Structure 1
Amino acid sequence: MPFNLSLAEREAAGLKRSLPAIERVDGRCLYAGGRQYLNFAGNDYLGLSRAPELLAASEQAAHQYGVGAVASPLVVGHQTIHRELEQALCDWLGLEAVMLFSSGFSANQAVIKALPGKEHTLWQDRLNHASLQEAGLLSPARMVRFAHNDMAALERKLTPNSGLIISEGVFSMDGDTAPWPGLVSLARQSGNWLMIDDAHGLGVLGAKGKGTLAEQGLEASDVNIFMGTFGKALGVSGAFVGGSRALIDYLHNLGRSYIYSTHLPPPQAAAVLAAVRLVQQADDKRDHLQTLIRQFREGVSGLPFTLLPSNTAIQPLIVGEEHKTLELAAALKHQGLWTGAIRPPTVPKGSARLRITLSAAHTKADVQQLINALHAAL
């Protein structure tokens, strides 16, 4: 088997991944090797992962339902707490129906592998998440990728009434948002379906945290398929797909990763339900997060790296070369700051970066410490 050679080559190129042993993590800090670090690598954008309301809801549900769903949802796994969560998501986002998944990856797989046939086309933004791209490759449909956020390029590739357009709300590695009014317009003009993956926008953007569509003046009903996750701003894990009742009924019957997976543990569903309620009242947290984003962008403006244009919690600092990116991350770690060193193939070659993420749990002093450390590391 060639894996030893492959791993050696990856290590020499600065591309080998390793699994850190984290002792404890929350929105602001993490603990590893007996040391505390400021956490600028996670996705707990509102700092809810340790909110007392979530912990209490999870504990109560564990006593009431048990710690596991014990079966797939279509057998006996779907319990009243799951239905209550689905209804809360519908009420919050204005969706007709919702179904729950163990992860965003499995949600995207279920949708893209079940809906389009070989007679259809999938149009995907070139920077869509790996779960979307991989599902497209496994789908019987023809997959066409268009230049990132380029509506003119997409329009040239579209054929009428023949498939599904897919893009993200907030792109996980660049932190920018898709132009959703343009996407909605093109989908309507061409008669094609439209899907949003709003994993990184839900809870953070828009009135009541409704996400990227709301931030851009749209409704959930402006797209055919709405996918969101619980592991970012909501502070838990899992995902959902929302849309029409007909869509959800179809996926109940043909979404293989839903049909053949054990359902969300009830304590997890209860914690997500508590998070949904909190997020709708979290304007103060979203305002604070925007203040931190502005502070960070102003503070690093003089650094000899490219800070990608982003007004979201994801702030990518492009270093370029893989080894230099690792060295910068190590220098910050020495100063008690944990950042994500992202390298190919997750991002294009030559664009290795620190994927710096901010949380409403951070303070201005935390962000200033990061800014100072970045300047000192040069």
Structure 2
Amino acid sequence: MRPLEPELERRRAEHLYRRRRVLGSPQNPRLQMDGQELLSFCSNDYLGLANHPEVIAALQRGADRYGAGSGSAHLVSGHSQAHHALEEELAAFTGRPRALLYSTGYMANQGVIAALLGRDDTIYQDRLNHASLIDGGLLSRAGLKRYPHNDTAALAARMACQSGGDALVAVDGVFSMDGDLAPLPELATLCERQQAWLMVDDAHGFGVLGRGGRGSVDHFGLDRQSVPILVGTLGKAFGTFGAFVAGSEALIETLIQQSRSYIYTTALPPAVAEATRTSLRLLQQEEWRREQLRQLIAHFRAGATQLGLNLMASQTPIQPILAGSAEQALAWSQALERQGLLVTAIRPPTVPEGSARLRVTLSASHTLEQLDQLLEALARLKREADA
């Protein structure tokens, strides 16, 4: 049995060691972390719904009616009226015949890919795809072919060489670490030509992009024929927890029969489903939240550009500032925390070597004054770096 300590020490020495923080407050721009009050710019609560009073009240009503937990898997005795109603509302929201709830986004991506593909099939993935998509491909045992980020010409060349079996292209709608969008229209055209499935994980697009927050697929004006498999998570802009897959009647029934991560796990608590129904309504009705995000994004990018910071090409609430080395990203994050700001350093293997960064994420709950506080702190870091 090999000792584990040397690998841990290596991670510490290379500035790659991760540590958990203890949150003592609800998700808000101002939160309590390890007993310290900090202004946070690292949450995925893009619309500020995680601590919304109506969402909390719906969670409480759901707990009063259904209890604290679901008690079983969906296919045993755990599929409640709350789950069923949420699935129907998500299907209507996405413009698809059916939707299916999963307990997490990771499980949804793994469950879909492994249910649809096998050894004789091929899955094509962007090199910057989320780990859950990559792991889903590996779990399926299909041939895995990765292509350079957003390079549809390279993807087309790889797909042209496929000799048999089914093909599936899996991609993030919004890439979680870079904040940019996948070229979905080009991917849809290519998949139609090659008779391949297109699967879009829109975890970071729902709520933020498209009409009424319908996501990146809607943002590009694509329909369910263009994108037959649509995955979304509920723990980001929705402000709650869980995930869903939306698609055709045949797709959803196939997943119910064959998706192991759906069949063999406990359903998420019905109270969470009730809370999500409320957040789904708010997400569609309150356009001011997306307008506030657009203003914050524009203000941040203008200010950061003026400071000469190394931004990436993102028009979403995910605004990475490239640092290069893990050591530099960690030093910047720690310096910001000493000024009362929480901005996470993202380091390999989450991102490629040499592209460590600060991952600034914005929420509709932020104010322009709070954003200016962050920009002032970044200006001080830049002055110190240039001195």
> Which TM bucket (shorter chain)?
over 0.9
Please list, as runs of the form range in 1=range in 2, the aligned pairs for 1:314-333 lying within 5 A after superposition: 314-333=318-337
Q: Please list the CA deviations of residues 273-310 of structure 1 after superposition, one character each: whole Å capped at 9, or x if unmatched.
A: 11111111121110110100010011111445420010
Deviations 1:95-117 (A, max 9, x none): 11111011100001101111112
Residue 53 of structure 1 corresponds to 54
Contact 1:43 1:233 in 2 (8 A): yes
Contact 2:345–2:357 (Cα < 8 Å) also in 1: yes
Opposite residue 202 of structure 1, the aligned amino acid is: F
Q: Which amino acid aligns with 1:353?
A: R
**The residue matched to 2:236 in structure 1 has which SS?**
coil
Correspondence 1:9 to 2:10: yes
Q: Establish whether residue 196 from structure 1 lines up as the match of residue 200 from structure 2.
A: yes
Mapping of residues 287-302 of structure 1, within 5 Å: 287-302=291-306
Match of 1:178 in 2: 182
**4+ aligned runs moved over 4 Å, structure 1:** none
1:64 partner letter: R
| Equivalence for 2:368 | 364
Give the SS at the match of 2:232: strand
Distance 1:205 1:266 in 2: 27
Deviation digits for residues 180-206 of structure 1 (CA, Å, limit 9, x no counterpart): 110110010111111000000001101
Deviation string 1:108-148 (CA, Å, 9 cap, x unpaired) is 11011111121110000110000000111121210100111
Alignment partner of 2:349 out of 345, 348, 351: 345
Tell me how many residue pairs correspond in the alignment.
Answer: 378
Q: Give per-residue Cα distances to partners, 1:309-333, cap 9 Å, x unaligned.
A: 1000000100011111111101111
- Using the size of structure 2 for normalisation, the TM-score is 0.96
**Separation in 1 of the partners of 2:259 and 2:202?**
20
Is 1:262 aligned to 2:273, yes or no?
A: no
What is the rounded CA distance, in whole Å, between the counterparts of 1:20 and 1:290 in structure 2?
Answer: 30
Matches of 1:90 and 1:197 in 2, distance apart?
A: 15
Query: Residue 81 of structure 1 corresponds to which residue in structure 2?
Result: 82
1:1-378 to 2 correspondence within 5 Å? 1-159=2-160, 162-378=166-382
Checking the alignment, whether the CA contact within 8 Å between 2:127 and 2:149 is kept in structure 1 is: yes
Name the Cα RMSD after superposition.
1.1
Aligned partners of 2:148 and 2:333: how far apart in 1? Answer: 30
Aligned residue for 2:17, secondary structure, equals coil
1:150, distance to aligned residue in structure 2 (A):
0.7
Percent identity over the alignment is 46
1:219: how far off? 2.3
Q: Following the alignment from structure 1 to structure 2, what is the Cα–Cα distance between the partners of residues 36 and 335?
A: 11
C-alpha separation in 2, matches of 1:127 and 1:2:
32
Amino acid at match of 1:295: H
In 2: Cα distance, 1:9 partner to 1:303 partner: 35
Q: What CA distance in whole angstroms lies between the structure 1 residues aligned with 2:167 and 2:151?
A: 18
Unaligned runs of 5+ in 1: none
Q: 1:153 to 1:27 in 2, by over 3 A?
A: farther
Q: Tell me, which stretches of 5 or more residues in structure 2 are unaligned?
A: 383-387
